[in-house]
Structures are given as structure tokens and as C-alpha cells.
A and B are shown apart, each in its own frame.
Chain A
């Protein structure tokens, strides 16, 4: 028993058609009330029907109606989709009619929620649907799709499976203490297994964080002395990609002032106002603020004037930069150069001439390279998908560290097992699984015990 909900599924007012989706027990009968054409309650599931939406005798719109009966639908409930002619007015009118029929307007995400509640998708898949809709770039789209196909679930499940094996081994030692033929869990082999788990989890978390960065965007700052060409680099990036420059609130401290979408990545430009107005970010903000900015940033574009020798300010700046996340830009290549690439062996270096927009492609390639986007391995797309999932994994990692410690201190098996089960539970929260009966199943499947 669930009430019936409806919503406009396409963007209102844009496009040649718009679709209204209705889901719930009364979806078919209620739509049938306002439909002129075949009797929708008599038609086969998964069929499309031509007809009119009528209010009393007035025809509101000419439509195609898809009838999909439970359970093979997105929500596993009866679903009807009405394809109306595009345009705000007629779509709204059809929607109003449905509401008058007693159908409730769906709250945001409610169709997905029902799909989850009715067991069609698991938690990670539900989350990735939202992400798929909101994908900003190709990487984000690809990752969301991968997760929707169940890769996140598999990633977590595989790891939990390994953990379960270890717990089951401990449990069988405890519940069947006199079975000498079963591998005994000792400090040595437990330490080995736990270390493997730790490495495994570490890799998952690291890869997830890397990939998430790509999904959400990379915090980027441009930095350098006055008149080295910072604003022209920014403008070149912005114009080239036709990015929208708006004020977007980021975290409480940061203000993202522009987004540059490269093919695989999105750069979130921080504090561009400083650059654009005075072209003098270091001086204006003071050392402390520029330090904070550089620390927070995931990518620093440091611009130097290739024609001049390094000044004191440049040297100070170079000292403070983290070469791992910095690209040095030697600008103004159209004139004789003093600075050479080889002068900066620890940095990624790119030569540009912003006046002619030379070197921009190299810059973009360098950014791609820095974030491992030059070669895409779809196998690595299995990641923890959002902050919630990563936080749970981090929590699990913390406990795993404690476990390793406890083992070396000689803490008894029982306690070790309790800690491992806590990890199993924590990770189970990612996918919405619980452990209770799983251990017993593993135990009996793998060990030969009994009278």
C-alpha cells in the first residue's frame, strides 16, 4: 500500500515534449479517468497508447501514454508516463488535473527512494542516480554510471567477503575449540591477514578520493607577481571553455568564482576577483592569506615571466609551493627567455604565450596528467562514491589500525573478532547490508565441524 505520486520528469518548458511520471497503486486507474482513448486498465503492460487528456469535455493536450505495470518498473510499482507536447502551460495543466484526481506531487528524489525501498536498487545505486543526473563532466558521468551498474556495491562486497573469511576463521576456533585440523588463528597469520586488509582498504579510499576530486572539481588558484599574465591565463581558460563565471558558495571559507570544464576535469577557480581586479594577488592578500589559499588548493598554477630573472618574491613563492600539486607556467614565450624548464627540476613546467594563446593545450594536457587522466582505466572506476561512503571507509580503516595494534599486543581472539565485526558492520552501512547471519553462513560453508 503506497500512495500515488506524480512529477514532471523533464525540464519544464524546454524541448519538444515533456514527460509526466506517475507511480503507485492508483497510477493507471487515475490516469484512465482523464484519458480519452483506449481503456488503460485493460491494456498490456509496457505498451504505449495515443489519445487525449481531457478535463470534462475540454481537450487539454494530445499525448502518448506509456503503461508499465509492477514489478518490472523503475519503482517496482505501477508506473504511467504521459508524453505531453512541450511548453509550460499544457504540461502544468495536465499536472494540475492529476493533482485534482488525488495524486500527490512527488517530493524531490521520491521515485528513486521508492525504487530503493522496494528493493530494486541498493543504497549505492540510489546515490549514484542522483550523481548521474548532476554529472558535471565526462569523468563524473562515467563514474556514476559505473556505480549505478553496481561497481561500488561489488567493491565493498568483495572487501567484506575477505573480512568475513577471517572472522569466520576466528569464530570457528572459538565455537569448535578442539578441532585441531582447522587453521588456528595466531598472532602471525592474523597480523598478515589484517595487514593485507589494511593495504586493500587504503587503496580503495585513496582511489576513491582521487576520483571524487575529478567528479566534484579541483580547487585551483593562480598565483604570481604582478604583470606576469595571470589574468590573461585565466581568461584564456575561461573563454576557451565558455565557462560560466558566477559566485558559487563553496565551503564556508572558500568562494568558487568560476568553473572551467575541461573534457575530463572541472577546475574550480578560487578567488579570481583578486587577480582580475588588481592583478596583484600576493601583495594584496598578504603572505598569510596566499599561503592559506595555496594550502587549500588542489592545483596551483604559478605564473612566472620567462623573460626575467627570478626576483626575491618569486624565490619566496617557489619555496612555499608544493611541487606535487603545482604547475609552473613560464609565460611570455614570444620574447627572448631567461628562465629554462631545466631550472625547475622538481616542478611540472609548461611554456605559454597567452597573447597568442600558445601553450594552452600543453597546459591542459599537463593538468590531465597530474590527475591521472591521460589514460583512463575503466576498471579503476569502482570507487566509493560520496563523502558518506568514504567517511564510513575511513572509520573502518581507523578500527583496522587499532586491530593491528591489538594483535601485536596479544589481545585475545574474542576481542579481535569483535573489532573486525564492527568493521564489517561499518562497511555494511555503505551498501545497507548487515552482518548477523552472514558470518554463520560463511562459517558453515567453509569449515567441516560437528559431532
Chain B
């Protein structure tokens, strides 16, 4: 008898089982192949716009992905540095051998956590409450809560051209019956598709014909707690090349041979991650498409061709690759493939990631229709936290849209559902100015501490940082500079206007061209780097941040109006019929959530709001 069983050892599963075990729950992780725990079957990279911030948020809440990435990084890059602090994003090239190895180490040494190698093919449900799982050999294991993090393994099929095999990534066995069981329990099953590009041999690339893409030469880490970072000298570069007209001609000539255009695919593929044949068809007037050559590991020879995901047969794949500059003599190690899998409709979930149909059953990751390691890990962490809080009899943790990208992600999923695999983008976050790379700890560590995933030492560190930020702000407001020759020369040098009268450093920093790092040439600002960075952003973007906060407050005023679970929408007069149908389907928990359902208009929300108020007085 366990408290929690986690089904699947991918990025969602790892975070889920670690969170549960660390929150004191006796936890079992069931996974098809222990060697594949925390496997990265696609990109060898973690982070990027929006996703990188999710990794920081996982760290702030006490999850593992950030720390594990720091142990495995081959290259670190800070993206979007010139586009505003809210969209700065860290991205690591992560070693595909080191990452899983380090994660397995962490899992194996985790108290309260056991790992079992098997496939789950059935669920034990009584009175719409989960009781445990049934393994492929018929063994029943009981648990109070179950978290499904099955990734792409539900009825997985691998497609290459007209060839279709029932298997998961790396030829692993898929789960054949679990999705049927979910269907029986009332879940809507979606068929989704994704794909991955070919891998080629490192030494077979003609690098002279490509452009080098290096990392950021700074000491960067994902985790707020990692003490050492990858040395610049150890960073491994990526390379850039392009498709050309010849490539496109080969693709067009053989279009019908691909799984997708040959009609062999049932699943819906991701819009943001089209296959090369999709790109060539949809954007036929584009002369070339970018391809990044990314190293997968220092322990083996594979180079991942980012941008060339395809479901063409092997011989056509070779023709395509060999038509590309620098890859004329490339040797294939693995061929590209498309993969189809079953997922559930996330609209059938609560914002806690518990299913509405079966009590104490949670789901996270690709089974909920998302894609991406980071999106999976974020959900896994929240599912683990909420399963544990549920068993502890405590209030759940629901992150709001103005608090975390993870909050945006889960709210989007459960409120809107997905049609194609969901990827987080900064454009999905309406308050992204508040959800920055720099302040994830300030936003979320408190929650991590409350649920018990952040220890005292790390919590004290946060408190100290908050204190220092306040002090630094005071310091900058009190410290004045006079229009001395030294100051004015400096200002002139950085292209700013000279001072006529004395000014506080705070006022001076309001000028967009004045940065703390520059200012330190002429005045001392004795605070830690992360503190100064935080304060600088708050000063320079004060107006925008205020505006975002005001908008968020507007949203919160709707968010604070709770809708009771058994509300009868038939009783609410004057709502458009489409809105009524959507409200009945999704059954939002708050007026705020209701307002984000597509098809529910402001006028419907006004009517609903009045109904809720009236009912309260009755």
C-alpha cells in the first residue's frame, strides 16, 4: 500500500514522484524502463523563451529540473537580452547521457521513493475514487492517489513513411490498454502527433560550410542554489545551416511518401513545431529554412538537426539531408520519425490537475496534451504537490496567471483544452512583465516553503534577498550625485544628458540609458549582483510594471468570485446558448476562469456575476 503511485518516469513523472516523496508521502514510481528515466527523446536542450522561466519556477517551488540541468549543461545561452527583462530567457544544451544519469541518482537516493520497472495497463477505481493500479502481469498495487505521467506511451505508434509500428521512442513497448480504460471511465481521448528530426554523425559534417552559434560567455545557472556553473571554456557550440531549393524540390517530389501527406497519420500535430514537409508546403515562397546542428552528448557522436523533423521514408530522408550545405556527406545514426499517441481532454481536469471524473487521480505532461520537457515537468511538480496536499487534508496549490507561467499553462489547459500539442509561449502570458526570469524565487519560493519543498536554509536565503532588495532601493533613493565634472563626463560618455542639479541615483536610473553596471564606474553600489539586477528592473520599468499589476488586479477581482461546484446554469437566465454549453462543460471554479473560456462573452459574465450575487443573498 502506497500513498501515491506515479505512472511514467519522464520529466513530469520525475518531478511528481520527487515532490510526493519529499512531502512525506510513501511513493512508488512505475516506469517501463528504468534506463529511460528522465530521457530526452527529442531536443537536446532545456529552456528558451517562456520555457526557461518555467524551469526557474520549478526551482523556486522546490523541483528538480533546474538543478539537474545545471549538472548536465553543455552550453548556456541567455536569449532576448535586448528585448526587455520580462522576456529574457535561459537555454541550456543538455547532455543526453548526463541528464538522465543525474536524475536517476537523485531519485534512487530519495527517501520515501521506490522505483518499479513495469507497465500499468489498468486502474482500480471504486465509487469514482482511485484505489490503485494494475500492472501488465496482473499485479494489483494499492494507493490513495495515482498520478498518470505517461507521455507519448498511450497506444504509441511510430511512423516513417508508410511504415507504422506500435511502439514508443527508442522502440520501447507502449501501453496498449490504459487509454481504453480511461475512455471507459468517461475521459475523452484525443489522438496527437509529434515528430523528431534525424541524428547524424558528428565527424561527417563539413563545418566550414556552416556558421558557428556560441553560448553566452557568462556564469549562468538555472537554479537559484547551484553554486558552480559551466565554465565558458567548456561550452560546446551549435552550428547553423539552411535548406535550399533543391531540398524543397526533393520534398515536393516525394510528398505523398511522407506519413503525413500520404494519409497515414490520424493525430493532430503541433502548430508551432511543423515538420519540414509542412513548412515547405505551407510557406512555399520561402527560399530556405534554418537548421541548427546541436550536440546531444559528449559521450557519443549524435548531432541533432533542429528544424528537420519529418516522417519521410529513410531513402528520402537521406536525399533531403545530403542536399543541405555542410551535410553532403552526413552519415545517419538515427532516422527521423513521427509519433502518434493518445491524450485526454484537459478540460476534464481541475486546476489542481486532479481529474473531475475520478477522485485522487491526477494527470500531468503530454497525456494532458502539452509538449515540451519543461511544460511536462511544471505540471508534474504541481500534480505531485496537490496529490500530497490532498492526502494531508490541506488546501491545494493553484498558481494564478499573474504568479507563474506554470499557472498560465495549467489555466489554459483546463479552461480551453487543446486541439494540437500545447507549447508555452511568452505571448500566452498577459502579465509576462511580472513573470520574469529574474524574480521566479521572489514570486514562488514562499509557496515552495509552505508546502515543504524548500528547506529552512534556502528560505532564509530568500528572506535575506528580499531584505537586501529593500535596502538597495532605499540606498539608491537616498544616495545623491552632484553635477560634478566626473559625473557629467560619465553621462556624456554613455550618451545621456548632463546634470544641472543634484539627483538621487534612483532618479538617475529612471533614464533608460543609465544602467547600474555602468553607474558603478563612478559611484559605489555595494550590493549583490542579483539584488542590483532586481532593483534596476523595478526602477527602469516601474510604469509598465505598475500597469501590469493594475491589469492583474482587475483579473483577480473576477478570480476572487468563486462559483460553487453544483451551480445550475439552466437557472441563469439570458446567457447565450453557446456560453451556457461551454460553462456546463468546463464548470469553472471562479468567475475569472469563466471569463477566459472561448465563446463566453463579457455580457455572459455580467449576467453570471449578477446571478451569483443574487444567489448569495438568498
B279 at interface, CB cutoff 8 A: yes
Closest chain-A Cβ to B420's Cβ sits at a distance in Å of: 9
Pick the interface stretch among B61-69, B133-141, B427-435.
B427-435
B598 at interface, CB cutoff 8 A: yes
B232 at interface, CB cutoff 8 A: no
Known A118-B577, A418-B544: A177·B49 in contact at CB below 8 Å: yes
B512 engages A448 (CB within 8 Å): no
B394 at interface, CB cutoff 8 A: no
B305 (CB) vs chain A CBs: closest residue? A451
Chain B residue contacts of A178, Cβ below 8 A = 79, 213, 290, 292
Interface residues of A in 392-451 (CB under 8 A from B): 409-415, 418, 432, 436-437, 439-440, 443-444, 448-451
A414 engages B512 (CB within 8 Å): no
- The CB with the most chain B CB atoms within 10 A, among A174, A178, A413, A448, is that of A174
Closest chain-B Cβ to A296's Cβ sits at a distance in Å of: 36
CB 8 Å contact bits of B551-589 with A (1 = contact, 0 = none): 000000000000000000011011111100000000000
Chain A residue contacts of B85, Cβ below 8 A = 412, 414
B84 engages A412 (CB within 8 Å): yes
B282 at interface, CB cutoff 8 A: yes
Chain B residue contacts of A418, Cβ below 8 A = 433, 544, 547-548
B427 engages A448 (CB within 8 Å): no
B288 at interface, CB cutoff 8 A: yes
A448 engages B84 (CB within 8 Å): no
A409 (CB) vs chain B CBs: closest residue? B512
User: How far is A412 from B87 in the complex, measured between Cα atoms in Å?
Assistant: 10
Closest chain-B Cβ to A363's Cβ sits at a distance in Å of: 47
Known A2-B574, A181-B290, A450-B272: A432·B601 in contact at CB below 8 Å: yes
B89 (CB) vs chain A CBs: closest residue? A177
B87 engages A410 (CB within 8 Å): no
A171 engages B427 (CB within 8 Å): yes
B116 at interface, CB cutoff 8 A: no
Known A174-B426, A437-B598, A440-B425: A448·B83 in contact at CB below 8 Å: no
B179 at interface, CB cutoff 8 A: no
A174 engages B272 (CB within 8 Å): no
User: How far is A77 from B603 in the complex, measured between Cα atoms in Å?
Assistant: 18
A170 (CB) vs chain B CBs: closest residue? B83
Known A180-B290, A415-B541, A451-B42: A439·B427 in contact at CB below 8 Å: yes
A177 engages B79 (CB within 8 Å): yes
A419 (CB) vs chain B CBs: closest residue? B544
Partner of B603, one of A116, A173, A181, A437: A116
Interface size class of B (residues with CB under 8 A): 35 or more
User: How far is A151 from B289 in the complex, measured between Cα atoms in Å?
Assistant: 40
User: How far is A181 from B290 in the complex, measured between Cα atoms in Å?
Assistant: 8
Partner of B286, one of A114, A174, A176, A448: A448
B396 at interface, CB cutoff 8 A: no
B80 (CB) vs chain A CBs: closest residue? A177
User: How far is A451 from B274 in the complex, measured between Cα atoms in Å?
Assistant: 7
B87 engages A450 (CB within 8 Å): no
A288 at interface, CB cutoff 8 A: no
User: How far is A144 from B580 in the complex, measured between Cα atoms in Å?
Assistant: 31
A1 at interface, CB cutoff 8 A: yes
B603 engages A117 (CB within 8 Å): yes
Closest chain-A Cβ to B80's Cβ sits at a distance in Å of: 5
B433 (CB) vs chain A CBs: closest residue? A418
B574 engages A117 (CB within 8 Å): yes
Chain A residue contacts of B292, Cβ below 8 A = 178
User: How far is A260 from B84 in the complex, measured between Cα atoms in Å?
Assistant: 58
User: How far is A181 from B285 in the complex, measured between Cα atoms in Å?
Assistant: 13
Closest chain-A Cβ to B214's Cβ sits at a distance in Å of: 12
A450 (CB) vs chain B CBs: closest residue? B273
B10 at interface, CB cutoff 8 A: no
User: How far is A444 from B421 in the complex, measured between Cα atoms in Å?
Assistant: 13
B197 at interface, CB cutoff 8 A: yes
Known A1-B570, A181-B286: A414·B430 in contact at CB below 8 Å: no
Chain B residue contacts of A177, Cβ below 8 A = 49, 79-80, 83, 89
A415 engages B288 (CB within 8 Å): no
Interface size class of A (residues with CB under 8 A): 35 or more
- The A interface is mostly helix, strand or loop, or mixed, namely loop
Partner of B512, one of A117, A176, A411: A411
- The CB with the most chain B CB atoms within 10 A, among A117, A179, A440, A443, is that of A117
Interface residues of A in 1-56 (CB under 8 A from B): 1-3
B578 engages A412 (CB within 8 Å): no
Chain B residue contacts of A176, Cβ below 8 A = 49
Chain A residue contacts of B433, Cβ below 8 A = 414-415, 418
B324 at interface, CB cutoff 8 A: no
B307 at interface, CB cutoff 8 A: yes
Known A409-B512, A432-B601: A448·B289 in contact at CB below 8 Å: yes
B604 (CB) vs chain A CBs: closest residue? A117
B432 (CB) vs chain A CBs: closest residue? A414
Chain B residue contacts of A443, Cβ below 8 A = 427
CB 8 Å contact bits of B12-56 with A (1 = contact, 0 = none): 000000000000000000000000000000110000011000000
B247 at interface, CB cutoff 8 A: no
B79 (CB) vs chain A CBs: closest residue? A177
B84 engages A414 (CB within 8 Å): yes
Closest chain-A Cβ to B515's Cβ sits at a distance in Å of: 13
A175 at interface, CB cutoff 8 A: yes
Closest chain-A Cβ to B282's Cβ sits at a distance in Å of: 7
A119 at interface, CB cutoff 8 A: yes
Interface residues of B in 54-107 (CB under 8 A from A): 79-80, 82-87, 89
A119 engages B576 (CB within 8 Å): yes
Closest chain-B Cβ to A122's Cβ sits at a distance in Å of: 10
Closest chain-A Cβ to B421's Cβ sits at a distance in Å of: 11
B425 engages A175 (CB within 8 Å): yes
Closest chain-A Cβ to B8's Cβ sits at a distance in Å of: 23
B512 engages A174 (CB within 8 Å): no
Chain A residue contacts of B283, Cβ below 8 A = 448
User: How far is A366 from B309 in the complex, measured between Cα atoms in Å?
Assistant: 70
Partner of A432, one of B309, B428, B602: B602
Chain B residue contacts of A450, Cβ below 8 A = 270, 272-274, 279, 307
B461 at interface, CB cutoff 8 A: no
CB 8 Å contact bits of B258-281 with A (1 = contact, 0 = none): 000000000000111110000100
Known A117-B576, A412-B82, A412-B84: A451·B544 in contact at CB below 8 Å: no
Closest chain-A Cβ to B556's Cβ sits at a distance in Å of: 17
Closest chain-B Cβ to A275's Cβ sits at a distance in Å of: 48
A179 (CB) vs chain B CBs: closest residue? B290
User: How far is A178 from B89 in the complex, measured between Cα atoms in Å?
Assistant: 12
Closest chain-B Cβ to A42's Cβ sits at a distance in Å of: 25
Closest chain-A Cβ to B578's Cβ sits at a distance in Å of: 7
User: How far is A179 from B306 in the complex, measured between Cα atoms in Å?
Assistant: 12
Chain B residue contacts of A410, Cβ below 8 A = 512-513
Closest chain-B Cβ to A51's Cβ sits at a distance in Å of: 31
Chain B residue contacts of A173, Cβ below 8 A = 83
Interface residues of B in 312-367 (CB under 8 A from A): none
Chain B residue contacts of A439, Cβ below 8 A = 427
B573 engages A414 (CB within 8 Å): no
A448 engages B544 (CB within 8 Å): no
B603 engages A175 (CB within 8 Å): no
A118 engages B576 (CB within 8 Å): yes
User: How far is A444 from B82 in the complex, measured between Cα atoms in Å?
Assistant: 23
The 26 sampled A-B contact pairs (Cβ below 8 Å) are A1-B573, A2-B573, A117-B603, A118-B576, A119-B576, A171-B425, A175-B50, A179-B290, A410-B513, A414-B86, A414-B433, A415-B84, A418-B544, A418-B547, A436-B430, A440-B427, A444-B272, A448-B283, A448-B286, A450-B270, A450-B272, A450-B279, A451-B42, A451-B43, A451-B273, A451-B307
**Contacts A114-B574, A118-B577, A450-B273 given; 17 further ones with Cβ under 8 A?**
A1-B570, A2-B574, A117-B575, A117-B576, A117-B603, A171-B425, A174-B426, A175-B427, A181-B290, A412-B83, A413-B84, A413-B87, A414-B84, A418-B544, A418-B548, A444-B271, A451-B306
Nearest first, the 10 A-B pairs at minimum CB distance are A414-B84, A412-B84, A450-B273, A448-B283, A413-B83, A171-B427, A444-B271, A177-B79, A175-B425, A175-B49
